[in-house]
């Protein structure tokens, strides 16, 4: 398979019968040649500058991590999401890498960001920029929920990613 996922796993993902890791989402998007946000894109509002909260898609990744797609601008290669990580969760067992850059701001709680061999502990209000081609993952090792705003800038508007 192009995704590296089993047929049964793909079937469960399509039917919403299993949680999904960031790695699995990236693998599916990569196989389709699209950005991750396009997997969850809904119809746009009549005003192209306005995306109502009710139009933003949420998915659960990993063990309780909620990813809400706030904005997906394919033409400019920009994707904005909010991630909510309950205490003791992470975005996936394995780190991921993809084209582009990521900019994140911790809105609530404490977040551990692993980039290759480096680890950063961020608190509410802290902001971090990373080259997304380096292996990375996010974790909440605290006892309270973490919430962050994540902006992904793809190197090329039509490349795939996080």
Three-state secondary structure along the chain?
CCCCCCHHHHHHHHCCCCCECHHHHHHHHHHHCCCHHHHCCCCCCCCCCCCCHHHCCEEEECCCEEEEEEEEECCCCEEEEEEEECCCCECCCCCECCCCEEEEEEEECEEEEEECCEEEEEECCCEEEEECCCCEEEECCCCCCEEEEEEEECCCCCCCCC
Q: What is the pLDDT of residue 156?
A: 62
- Any domain includes 162: no
Distance in angstroms (rounded) separating the CA atoms of residues 137 and 116: 9
- Any domain includes 1: no
* Count: domains in the chain: 1
What is the CATH number for 52?
Answer: 2.60.120.10
- Any domain includes 158: no
Pair 10, 3: CB distance under 8 Å: yes
- Any domain includes 38: yes
- Any domain includes 161: no
Pair 152, 79: CB distance under 8 Å: yes
Distance in angstroms (rounded) separating the CA atoms of residues 74 and 22: 19
- Any domain includes 160: no
Name the strands in the sheet holding 78-85, side by side, starting at the edge strand that comes first in the sequence: 58-61, 65-73, 78-85, 146-153, 101-108, 127-131
- Any domain includes 83: yes
Q: What is the pLDDT of residue 162?
A: 41
**Domain span at residue 14?**
7-153
Q: Is the pTM of this model over 0.75?
A: no
- Any domain includes 103: yes
- Local confidence pLDDT in tens for the 162 residues of the chain: 566 676 566 656 655 555 666 666 666 666 666 666 666 655 444 445 788 999 999 999 878 999 999 999 888 899 999 999 999 999 999 999 999 999 999 999 999 999 999 999 999 999 999 999 999 999 999 999 999 999 999 876 544 444
């Amino acid at each position: 398979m192009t995704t590296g996922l089993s047929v049964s796993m793909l079937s469960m993902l399509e039917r919403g019968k299993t949680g999904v890791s960031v790695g699995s989402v990236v693998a599916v998007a990569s196989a389709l040649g699209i950005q991750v946000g396009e997997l969850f894109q809904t119809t746009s509002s009549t005003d192209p500058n306005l995306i109502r909260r009710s139009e933003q898609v949420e998915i659960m990744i990993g063990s309780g991590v909620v990813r809400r797609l706030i904005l997906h601008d394919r033409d400019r290669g920009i994707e904005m999401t909010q991630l909510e990580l309950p205490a003791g969760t992470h975005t996936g067992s394995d780190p991921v890498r993809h084209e582009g850059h990521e900019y994140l701001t911790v809105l609530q709680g404490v977040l551990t960001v692993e980039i290759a061999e480096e680890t950063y502990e961020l608190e509410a209000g802290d902001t971090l920029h990373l080259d997304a081609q380096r292996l990375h993952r996010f974790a909440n090792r605290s006892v309270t929920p973490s919430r962050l705003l994540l902006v992904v800038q793809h190197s090329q508007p039509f490349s795939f990613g996080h």
